[in-house]
Chain A
Amino acid sequence: MTSDKTPTERTAGALVRPFLSGPSDGAGGADGAGGADGARGSRGADDRADAPVPDGALRPFLLTAGRVAGQDSIAIETQVVTTDSGRTAVDQLGFERRDIVSLCGNPLSVAEIAAQLSLHLGVVRVLVGDLSADGHLSVYLPNADASTDVDTLLRVIRGLRAIG
């Protein structure tokens, strides 16, 4: 699907990723036209935005406009929570972005987001980075020293021993 960064610019052109804007289908009509067309490759003439896209038809990084890098600091266990701004903006966000913001009312790890939304981990990283930059999500980067901290390890040991 597609997801527009600027909800106010809902023109057909703005919805089409740069590398998807091959044969223009004209008006586009509704949200999602760009992504749906892109998934069908050269058959861009179909402008039925609501037509279901079969599973696996989208290459994962179409959702991020092809960006794969830049969010290396977001580890898979990184905790993500929706902010007040995110809750307010949720209805204006498109598709995957809206799903992520809706899902993270309670803290979730990046890995859990990816699993629950059936999204590629790398895609979630990029989208979470974007949403965080826009102020819609708070991202709590894990403390890199926690895994070698004696007190933290003792807490984990106590917690595991309590499992019975």
Chain B
Amino acid sequence: MVSAQSAEVGGPTRRRPPLPVKLVIAGGFGVGKTTTVGSISEISPLTTEADMTSAAAGIDDASQVPGKRTTTVAMDFGCITIDESLKLYLFGTPGQDRFGFMWDDLAIGAIGALVIVDSRRLDDCYPAVDYFERLGLPFVVAVNRFDGAVAHDLPSIRWALAVDDAVPLITFDARDKLSVRDALLVVLDRALAKARAAQTER
């Protein structure tokens, strides 16, 4: 637990921590978020409890004042050490059924998001897609090939999700480390393109 074996000299900055960056792994219940994190994280996925504000969405939308409430949810996460001064955290959003989520804690300051989709239950990912679109966070929709099969072809899925053509739509296998890595790289490509565009605008 306590690791105070290193030399007791120098100021408090002698063990300067790495710069943390984070990526959000989103999607509905049981789409493979924790599996995705676990496939590539260097630590077994950790779980912590946090508060989330949820706004009733979908069916309850008829009311002009959506009910807001705070729920405590479990959140899984993992990390990848990029180098000694940079560490990538992967935060899985808690699965939300028919509640839109407003997880600003996770999303603000994030590089981007991977929205995982089960092709048999496409509507589970609508809240996540809506949320990241509204926030302007770079995101990629990734269809998890659970059993090697995808229930619909990608153009049909894109049509059903009504995501912009610019949003990459890929398939991947949440259990496979390299497949997860490649999916994350697609998110990074999106984020990089956006960062470069912002840079040239200046």
Q: Is the CB of A120 within 8 A of B15?
A: no
A84 to B4, CA, bound (A): 10
Q: Is the CB of B86 within 8 A of A152?
A: yes
A160 surroundings in chain B (CB, below 8 A): 80, 82, 88, 181, 184-185, 188
A106 surroundings in chain B (CB, below 8 A): 3, 15
Within 8 A of B (CB), among A35-67: 60
Q: Is the CB of B88 within 8 A of A156?
A: yes
Among B18, B47, B111, B194, max chain A CB count under 10 A is at B111
Q: A159-B80, A159-B83, A159-B86 are in contact. Are A153 and B192 (CB under 8 A)?
A: yes
Q: Is the CB of B51 within 8 A of A81?
A: no
Query: How does the 8 Å CB contact mask read for B37-55 relative to A, with 1 for contact and 0 for none?
Result: 0001000001111110000
A154 to B82, CA, bound (A): 11
Q: How large is the interface on A (under 10, 10 to 19, 20 to 34, 35 or more residues)?
A: 35 or more
A65 to B172, CA, bound (A): 46
Contact of A84 among B8, B16, B110 (CB under 8 A): B8
Question: How many A-B pairs with Cβ below 8 Å?
Answer: 148
Name the CB-closest residue of A to B15.
A81
Q: Is A147 an interface residue (CB 8 A)?
A: yes
What secondary structure prevails in chain A residues at the interface with B? helix
Contact of A76 among B17, B18, B81, B106 (CB under 8 A): B106
Q: Is A143 an interface residue (CB 8 A)?
A: yes
B15 surroundings in chain A (CB, below 8 A): 81, 106-107
B19 surroundings in chain A (CB, below 8 A): 142-143, 146, 152
Q: Is the CB of B181 within 8 A of A163?
A: yes
A156 to B25, CA, bound (A): 16
Q: Is B195 an interface residue (CB 8 A)?
A: yes
A83 to B16, CA, bound (A): 11
A164 surroundings in chain B (CB, below 8 A): 178
From residue B33, how far is it (CB to closest CB) to chain A in Å? Answer: 15
Q: Which stretch in A6-14, A18-26, A110-118 binds the other chain?
A: A110-118
A60 to B106, CA, bound (A): 20
A150 surroundings in chain B (CB, below 8 A): 192, 195-196, 199
A153 to B138, CA, bound (A): 13
Q: Is B139 an interface residue (CB 8 A)?
A: no
Q: A111-B91, A142-B109, A159-B88 are in contact. Are A153 and B46 (CB under 8 A)?
A: no
Extra contacts, 11 of them, besides A77-B21, A160-B80, A161-B181 (Cβ < 8 A), are: A75-B109, A77-B89, A77-B109, A87-B8, A112-B79, A143-B19, A147-B22, A152-B19, A152-B86, A157-B185, A157-B189
The 9 closest A-B pairs by CB, nearest first: A107-B17, A159-B82, A79-B17, A115-B46, A77-B20, A121-B50, A114-B48, A105-B3, A83-B12
10 contacts across the A-B interface (CB closer than 8 A)? A76-B89, A81-B15, A114-B48, A138-B12, A152-B86, A156-B82, A157-B189, A157-B192, A163-B40, A163-B80
